Structure 1
Amino acid sequence: MTQKGGRRGPLVADKRYSSSKQAPGKPNTPKPRKPRGKKPQRPKRNHGLFTGAVIGLANAIWRLIWGGFWRFTMVIALVVVGTSLYFYSTLPDYTKLLDGRTRGSVTMLDDQNKVFAWRGETFGGQIDAKNVSPFLRDAVVATEDRRFYHHFGISPRGIASAIAINLRAGRGPFEGNGGSTITQQVAKLLCLGVKFNPKEWKNEAAYESDCRSGGLKRKIKEVPYAFALELKYTKDQILSIYLNRAYLGAGARGFEAASERYFGISAANVDPQQAAMLAGLLKAPSYFAPTNNLERSQARAQTVLDLMHQQGYLTDRQYLDAKNNPATLSKAAQQRAGGYFADWLMDTIPDFLSRDTTEDVVIHTTLDQRIQAAAEDAMQSVFTNKVSKNSEAQAAIVVMSKDGAVRGMVGGRETKVTGAFNHATMAQRQTGSTFKPFVYATALDLGYTPDSMVDDAPLTVKMPGSPNWSPRNYERNFRGPITLTVALEHSVNVATVRVSEAVGRENVIKVAQGFGFAQNLPNLPSVALGVGESDLLDMTGAYAGILNGGSSVTPYGLNTLTLKGDTEPLFSKPGGIGERVISEKSAKELMYMMRQVVLHGTGGRANLKNYEVAGKTGTTQSLRDAWFIGFTADYVVGVWLGNDDNSPLNGVTGGGLPAEIFHETMKRVENGQPAKPLPMAQPADWQGNPDDWQSTPQPQPDAAPQPQQPQPQQRSNPSDSILKSLLGVFGGGN
C-alpha cells in the first residue's frame, strides 16, 4: 500500500516469530556493555576505627621502607657503576698484566745444560687461554668456576653457597670459602690495581697477603673491579691473566712455569691427569705441591678429574684412563738434586742477581747430577746400614774436580731439601789431623823427602809465661825414629809437632793459608794438629790443590751467568786454579805419602778396588768431629761427621764412618770411569845412597838447631832440627 502523496513508506519486515525466552509483557532490550579498561570497583569495606588506623600505619611504613629501599639501591647501583667505570679506565691492555712477578727468577743448569734447580719466582713465558692444553683450561674452569662463561663477574649463587658452607663449619659467613669467581680471583691477583710499595708493606709477602685477604670489605671492593674486568676484557683474556699470574708452588708463577717445573713440558702439552694436578694446586699451592707430597697431590688431582667428568669435560674413557694413570713428576723434579749446591751458589752471587733480581737469570753450573746422586745415595746407604737409628749426628759431602769445580754437594743427612743449614759450607769446625798434610807439604817444599826421619819420642815444651805441656799420641805410645811417610800414615801427633817446629810453624801457617782453608790460625805448636777451624768446602779445595800439583784453588760452582734471552754472559766463573803454593815435586811426593795412609794406615776403609786413592783421616779433641778427605786422579771427595751441638761422637773417628762414606761415594762416582793412576812420585824419584842418613850430623840433646837445607846427594833429617823446648799441645787423633 502507498501513502498519501504518492510516496511509499519504508519496508519493515514483519516479526513472525517471537523469542521463547522473552517474558510476556516485557520488551526485548539488549544488555548494557561493561566499559573497557575499567575494573569493577569492589564495595568498600567498612573497618573499625582501630583496625583502620593499624592498616593505615602499616601502609605508610611499607611505602616508607619501599621508597627508601629503591632509593638506596639506586645510590648503590650508581656508586658501583661509577667505581666500575673508574676501574675500567685504569685497566691497561691485558698483555701487560700477564707477568705479575715483582722479582725475577734464577734458573740453574747442570754441566749438561739440564735444569736442576730454580730460585725466586720462575715464569715460563706468556701463555694464552686459547693455546694451552684444552684439558688444562677445562680443569681450571671445572675446579674454580663452573659458571665462568655465563656470569658477569660475580656469582650470587656461588657466594650464597659459600656462606652456607662457612656457617655449617662454624666459621663466619665470609671466613673460609669465599665463592669467588675466576674474575674475582684475578681481581685479587691484580691487588685491585694497587701496586707494591715498599714504604707501605714490609715485603712482597706482606703485600700479597694483604691482596689476598678475605672478609666483607674485600668482597665489596672486588665487585666493581670484577665488573670492570668483565667490561674491559673478554672471558678468554681474563682466563689468560689467571693462567699466567696464579702461584702454583715451588716458586712457579703461572701454569707454564709450573708445567715445566713439575713435568718438564709446556702447558700446551699436558694430558688430563697432569692438567688436573696443576689445577688442583690452586686450592693450596705449597700444601698440594707434588714436590712436597706426591701422593697428596695425586689425591687432589683425582678430585679435579671427578669434577671434569661430572661436568662433561672428559669422556668415560678419558676419565678412566687418567684415573688409572695419575700424573708423576719429571726426572729432574723427582730428584730434587742439588738443593744444598743451589743454596750455596745463591750465596756466592750478588743479591741483585740472585735474591733481589728483577730479571730472569740463567746460571750454567758445574754440578754433575750423576755425581750428586752418587753422593746422596752414599750418605743414605751408610746411615741406613751402619748408623744407629737414634743417632742425631750430621754429615756433609763435597765432590770436586782438581781445579776447584764443585761437582756435588750434600750439606746434611736430609738430602732433598732447600734452605736447610749446609754443614758443608756453614759449619766451621776444627780440622784435626786433616791439617797434617800441610805440615808435611811445608817440609817437602823445604827439601825433606818422604823418607826423612823424625823422632817420635816424649816431648815437653817450655814457653815463657805458659805452663809446660806435653803432646800425646792418639795411641798413647811412641814409635821412636820413623820416616815422614810413617808419621803421616799413622797420624802420629808428636812427630808431626816436631816436623812443624823444625820447618817453622810460620811457614806451615803460610802454606795452609796459601791453599785457602786457614784463617786466623794460632801461632802455636798446636796448629800442627788442626786446632784451627775451617769448613768442609774449603778443606776439600785445599786437597784439590795437592792433586793439581801444588796450586791453590778457589772452589766454584758457576760457569757463566746470563740474563734470560741473552747470549753474552754477564760474568764467568769466579774461581779455579790460583797461585802456586808448593812445588809440583813436593805435591807429588805428598800424594805418595797420602796414598800410604789409605794402603797401610788410618784410612784403610777408604781404599777402592782398581783405583788409586790417597787421603787423610781426621779426628778432633774429644771425638767432636770426624773427617776423611781424599782423591783419585779424577775427583776430590771431602766428608765430615759431627753433632750440631758439638757434643762428642760415639766412638767415631775419621778412619771409621767418614772413610766409609768416602768409599761409598767414590765407588759410585768412579763407577764406569776408566781407572787412572795418581800423578804421584815414586820412591825411586827421591831415594839416594842408603848411607846418606847415617852421614847426617846428629844434634846434641840440648841444642836448638835450625832447619837444614838439603845438599846434593844428601837428605835433611827433621830429627836433626828439633827444638828441644816446644810447647806441649792437645792433639787430635787419626
Structure 2
Amino acid sequence: MMRFLAWMFSIASIGAIFGLGAMAALVWHYGRDLPDYDALKSYQPATISRVYDRDGAIMAEYLTERRVFAPIDEVPDLVKNAFIAAEDRNFYEHAGFDALGIVGAVVDYARGGRLRGASTITQQVMKNFLLTNERSFERKFKEIILATRLEQVLTKDQILELYLNEIYLGARAYGVAAAADNYFGKALENLTPAEAAYLAALPKAPSNLHPVRDHDIAVARRGYVLDQMLRAGFLTQAEFEEADAAPLATVLDGSVEPELPPVPPRDYFSEEIRRQLVGQFGEEAVEGGGLTIRATLDPELQRAAGDALRARLVKWDKERQGWRGPLTRIEPAALTGDDGAPSEDAWREALAATRAPGDIPGWRPAVVLKVGDTTARIGIQGVPEDADGHYIGVGDAGWAKPELERGGVGRAPRKPADIFAVGDVIMVAGETEDGSEIRDVPGDALVDAGLARWSLRQIPELQGAFMAMDPVTGRVLAMQGGFSFETSVFNRATQAKRQPGSAFKPFVYAAALDNGYTPSTVILDAPISIDTGAAELWRPTNSSNRFYGPSPMRVGIEQSRNVMTVRLAQDVGMDLVAEYAERFGVYSDMPHHLSYALGAGETTLYQMVGAYAMFANGGWRVSPTLVDRVQDRWGETIFRQDDRLCPDCRQDWRSGELEPVLQPNSQLIMDPVTAFQLTSMMRGVVERGTATRLQSLGLPLAGKTGTTNEAKDAWFIGFTPNMVAGCFIGYDNPRPMGRGAFGGTLCAPVFEDFMEIAMKDRPKLDFPFPPHAVMAKIDRSTGRRLSDDASGAGVALEAFRLGEAPAVGEYSGGAVIEGRFDMFAGGDLPMRLEQDEPSSGPASGPASGGAPADGGGGGGQAPAPPSPSGGFGSGGLY
C-alpha cells in the first residue's frame, strides 16, 4: 500500500510538474506579444466636452463618443452593485479570473448548454481595451493573462472605474453616466433600483435590449439582474419586488420627462467656439477631452440678436424678393391612406423624412394636403390635428407674389392654387389676432396661447450677421452668423470676408486725428482726378454726385463724404492708414491703395466690431473672445481669457477693506483724446447723419454706416461706453440688393431692435471726457472757432488737445481765403492727385478705375470696385 501511495504521489507530482510546465509554456507563448497594460494606469477615455453659457446652462456638447466620465467615488453603490451582481459577483475576491466560474461554464457546455465566456469584469476591461471580440481559446487565454497582470497594478476600484466608463450601453451611450442621461434623463445618483438593473442588463447585448423595440426581452433581462442583486444581498425582498414590478419607462418612448435639461442643438456661437478651440488645443482634446468650457454668451442677448436679424431679413425678402416656391415636395400618393384621403400617419411620416430647419423660433414645417377655392389644408409637424384640420388662406400668404425670371415680382396671388400644390413642403408660423408670432409653445398648447391663424413663411435668400460684445473686456455676448444654422452653417460673422465700405472711414480719420488734424480741420470737397498709372484717371465722387466745397472733418464723417476721405487719406499717407487698420485688427496686411480708404478691402464683421470696441473704450487694445475659461476633466484651468494679475486676491478679506485691484495689462494703442474726438464725430452720424433713426433709442450712441458699390454689402456698427454691436447684410454671392438698400435702412434697424433689449437693464453711461483735453465751440459748417456763449443748431462742441484749440474767429489748421483753399497743417490739396504706388493688377484698388459707393467695392471676391461708366464712380453717402 505504501509503495502504491508513493507511486501515485510520484505520478501526481510528475503530472503537476508537467502541468505547471505546460501552463508556463502556454503563458510564455501567449504572453510574448500582449499589449502593454501599463497604459491603462493613465488611461483617459474619450469624454464629452461641455459648453456653458454665462448663466451656467449647457449650450453645447462636443463629442466623438457620448461618454460622461464618472470617477468611481461619484458612482453610487446601487449602480456598482447592479453591474457586479450581473457580471461578476466575486469581483472583489478573485485575482482577475474566476476559476469556479470557468469550470461552471465548461460543465454547462458539456451538458448541452450555451457556451459562455465566464469573463470577469477585469477580463472584460482587458478585452474592451486591448484585445478583440474573437471567440477563441487563444483570446480567452490572453485575456486571463492580462487580467491577472492588471490586478497587480490597479486597485479593484480603479478597474471598476475603467469598466463603468468605457462600456457601450446602447442608444449611443458609452459609460453609465451617459446611459443614465440617455435612457432616463437622470444623474447617476437619482437612479432607482429598477433603472440601475436595466443599465446593468445592457452589456450582454445592448443592441438587442432596446426598451421600446425589445421591451419584453429587456424587462426579462432586467428581472434577471434584480434577482442576482437579491441573491447577492444588494436588495431586500421588498426592494426587489417593487423594482421587478416597475414598468420599464424611459425617455426614448416619451414616458419619462428628463430631469436634466436637454442639450440645445449646435448654433453659430457654439460652432465658432469649437472651431477656435480646435485650432488651439486640437480636435481630439476638444471632442474627447472632457473639457468644461465657460462661454461669454448672454442667452437673452443671443435671442435678441437672432430675432432682430431674422426679422429684418424676412421683411426685406417679403417686400422685394417674391415667392420662390416650397422647400421641397412630397409625392401626393405618400400623403394618403387606402381610401385616397389624407392620412395623418402617412403625411407625418413623409414630412418627418424631409429636411426642414427646426431652429427658427415660431416656424414649423408643414405639408399641403388639399388645395381649395379659398384655403389650403395643411399638416403641421409637431401640431396635433383638430377635428377640422389646419388651413392657410390667401390672405395669410398675400405677400407671396411670384418671382419673375427677368427680376422683380408678379401680381399678388388671388387663390391658393396660385401658391400651393398638394405635396408642397412649406414653413408656417402661428399668429394671434394682432399678427404676433407664437413662439416657444408646444404644438398642443397653441390654442391656449391664442392661435388665430397660420401664416406662410419663406427662408430669405438675403443673408447677414450680427455680433455684440463688451468693449472693455472683449467678451462676445451675442453672435448670429446667418438666418438659420440648420439651413447654412457658414458663419457670416467670422468667416465671410466682405468689403466694409464707409464703415472703414473712421480708421482713416483716426490716423489723421492722431497726426495733427482736429474735428474742425477743413477739407475740400471738390472734384479730383487721381493718376493711378492705369489707362483712366480715378475720379471718386460722393453718393449724391454733388460736391460741397470746404467742409470740416466732422461733416465728412457724419455725411460719409467719399472725396473728403480720399483727400484726407492722400494727405496723411496710405502707409499710415494701413498701419492704423492693422493696429486695430481690421486687416493683417493692408495694401496701400487709396480705394482701401473707402473700404474696398475685405474683412469680417468679427474684426470690425472688435476694432470699433477700441473707439468705445478710449483707445485700449481689446480682442473679441468667446470663451472665459477652459478646464480639463479634472477641473484644472488650462485656459483663462482674463490673464490680469491680482497679488492681493489670495489674502483674507475683512469687512470694511477695499476689494483687491487687478493689475491692468492692456496696451493703449490710441490717444484717448483721439478716441473721444472720433466718438463725438460718430455720435453726429446718429444725431445728424446717416443713422438718425437710432436717436429714438435715447442713448449716448456713436456709430457708422457702410454701403458698398451697387449696394452689395450693407453695414452698421455702433457703440455706447458699455456695448458695441455690428451688423452686416448681403447675398452670399455678392450682387446688388436693390433700391433703398443701405447700411442705414438694412442694418440700423437690426441694431435698433437689439439695443432696445440689450440696454433696458444696463446703465445709460456717457462717454468719459479724457484728461489733457479742452472743449471749444466750432461753427459746424465752416470749422471756425466761435465764442463760448454761441448757441444754436449750427454750433458744435469739439474736443481739442491742450494747446490745439484755435482762437475765436480762427480755423483749426487751415482757412478759406478769397475762395482759395489752404491747408496750413497738411499743405495744398490740388485738384489732381498723383498716386505714389502704381497698379499691380485687377485687385489693386483705384488702379481698377472704379470708386466704391459709400467707400466699398463690389464685396466678396475682388477687393477693388468695378470700373464705372463714364469714368465716374457711383460715389457714396451712406
TM range (shorter): 0.5 to 0.7
Change (3 A) 1:476 1:123: same
Which structure 2 residues correspond to residues 107-506 of structure 1 after superposition, within 5 A? Answer: 107-111=50-54, 116-119=59-62, 123-127=68-72, 131=76, 194=130, 218=134, 224=140, 228=144, 243-246=164-167, 253-256=174-177, 266-270=187-191, 302-303=212-213, 309=219, 318-319=247-248, 325-328=255-258, 330-331=260-261, 333-334=263-264, 338-347=269-278, 349-351=280-282, 354-355=285-286, 361-387=291-317, 389=458, 391-410=460-479, 412-413=481-482, 420-464=489-533, 467-506=536-575
Q: Is the 8 A contact 2:776 2:785 kept in 1?
A: no
Residue 851 (structure 2) pairs with residue 730 (structure 1): yes
C-alpha deviation, 1:436, in angstroms: 0.7
Counterparts of 1:268 and 1:712, CA distance in 2: 75
- Cα distance 1:271–1:340, how it changes in 2: closer, same or farther (>3 A)? farther
Q: SS state of the match for residue 638, structure 1? A: strand
Offset of 1:124 from its aligned partner?
2.4
One-letter amino acid matched to 1:686: A
Using a 3 Å threshold, how does the CA distance of structure 1 residues 188 and 567 change in structure 2: closer, same or farther?
closer
Q: CA deviation at 1:542?
A: 0.8
2:469/2:477 contact within 8 Å kept: yes
Q: Which amino acid in the other structure matches residue 676 of structure 2?
A: K
Corresponding residue number in structure 2 for 1:167? none
Q: 1:711 to 1:546 in 2, by over 3 A?
A: closer
Q: 1:131 to 1:277 in 2, by over 3 A?
A: closer
Q: How many residues align?
A: 585
2: CA distance between counterparts of 1:650 and 1:629? Answer: 21
Structure 2 counterparts to residues 567-646 of structure 1, below 5 A: 573=642, 578-606=666-694, 609-646=697-734
1:256 partner letter: A
Q: Secondary structure at the match of 2:469?
A: strand
- Aligned match for 1:685, one of 775, 778, 783: 775
- Of residues 751, 756, 760 in structure 2, which corresponds to 1:671? 760
Structure 1 counterpart of 2:615: 546
1:113-156 deviation per Cα after TM superposition (whole angstroms, max 9, x unaligned): 66544445664233489837669969x989xxxxxxx99899x9
The TM-score normalised by the length of structure 2 is: 0.54
Q: Does 1:516 align with 2:585?
A: yes
Q: Structure 1, unaligned stretches of length 5 or more?
A: 1-77, 143-149, 158-178, 196-210, 213-217, 288-299, 697-708
2: CA distance, partners of 1:184 / 1:416: 47
Partner deviation per Cα, 1:555-594 (whole Å, 9 max, x = no partner): 3344445544465766654799743333222211221222
Tell me: CA distance 1:306–1:438, structure 2 relative to 1, closer, same or farther (3 Å): farther
1:90/1:124 Cα in 2 relative to 1: closer, same or farther (>3 Å)? Answer: same
CA contact (8 A) 1:184 1:226 kept: no
Aligned equivalents of 2:784, 2:74: Cα separation in 1: 89
- Cα separation, 2, equivalents of 1:136 and 1:605: 68
8 Å Cα contact 1:403/1:577 also seen in 2: no
How many Å separate the matches in 1 of 2:185 and 2:696?
37
Higher-Rg member (1/2): 1
Q: CA deviation at 1:461?
A: 1.8
Q: Residue 467 of structure 1 aligns to a residue in which SS?
A: coil
Match in the other structure for 1:145: none
1:268, distance to aligned residue in structure 2 (A): 2.6
Q: Output one character per residue of 1:352-388: Cα deviation in whole Å (capped at 9) or x when no partner.
A: 994599x655454544344334333434444455545
Per-residue CA deviation, residues 452-494 of structure 1 (Å, 9 max, x unaligned), is 4433332222345653121122333334444433332232222
2 CA distance for matches of 1:327 and 1:84?
55
The answer to whether the 8 A contact 1:487-1:495 is kept is: yes
- Tell me the residue number matched to 1:199: none
Note if contact 2:293-2:630 (Cα within 8 Å) is conserved in structure 1: yes
Change beyond 3 A, Cα 1:385–1:691: closer
Gaps of 5+ in 2: 1-21, 88-100, 110-114, 227-242, 319-457, 645-663, 787-802, 816-820, 824-828, 836-845, 855-877
Contact preservation (8 Å) 2:707, 2:742: yes
1:715: how far off?
Answer: 1.2
Alignment of 1:661 with 2:582, yes or no, is: no
Quote the Cα distance in structure 1 between the aligned partners of 2:594 and 2:166.
62
Deviates more, 1:108-117 or 1:517-526: 108-117
Alpha-carbon contact 1:99-1:126 (below 8 Å) kept = no
- For residue 552 of structure 1, report the CA deviation from its aligned partner: 2.9
Structure 1 CA distance, aligned partners of 2:286 and 2:69?
A: 18
Instruction: Trace 1:69-108 onto structure 2 (pairs within 5 A).
Output: 96=40, 101=45, 106-108=49-51
**In structure 1, C-alpha distance between the alignment counterparts of 2:636 and 2:754, rounded to whole Å:** 36
- Deviation, 1:346, is 0.4
Whether contact under 8 Å (2:60, 2:264) holds in the other structure is no
Is the Cα contact below 8 Å between 1:366 and 1:557 reproduced in 2? yes
627-636 vs 374-383, which moves further: 374-383
Other-structure match for 2:813? 716
| 1:497, distance to aligned residue in structure 2 (A) | 1.4
SS of match in other structure, 2:585: coil
Aligned-partner residue type, residue 527 of structure 1: Y
Deviations 1:242-288 (A, max 9, x none): 54114689997523256579999632324699989999999999x9x
Query: In structure 1, how many angstroms separate the alpha carbons of the residues matched to 2:60 and 2:555?
Result: 46
Take 1:663 and 1:90, find their aligned partners in 2: how far apart are those partners?
67
Question: Is the 8 Å Cα contact of residues 243 and 254 (structure 1) preserved in structure 2?
Answer: yes
State the one-letter code of the partner of 1:402: P
Per-residue deviation at 1:689?
7.8
Alpha-carbon distance between aligned partners in 2 of 1:568 and 1:231, rounded to the nearest angstrom: 35
- Report the Cα offset of residue 543 of structure 1: 0.1
Corresponding residue number in structure 1 for 2:404: none
- Indicate conservation of the 8 Å contact 1:517/1:538, yes or no: yes
For residue 627 of structure 1, give the secondary structure of its aligned residue in structure 2: strand
CA contact (8 A) 1:398 1:637 kept: yes
- Code of the residue aligned with 2:683 in structure 1: it is R
Q: Does the CA-based 8 Å contact 1:617-1:629 persist in structure 2?
A: yes
Say whether the 8 Å CA contact 2:30–2:142 is kept in structure 1: no
Question: Which deviations, in whole Å up to 9, do the C-alpha atoms of 1:626-650 show, x marking residues without a partner?
Answer: 2221112211112223333344445
Higher-helix-fraction structure: 1
Identity fraction in percent: 28
Q: Which amino acid aligns with 1:342?
A: I
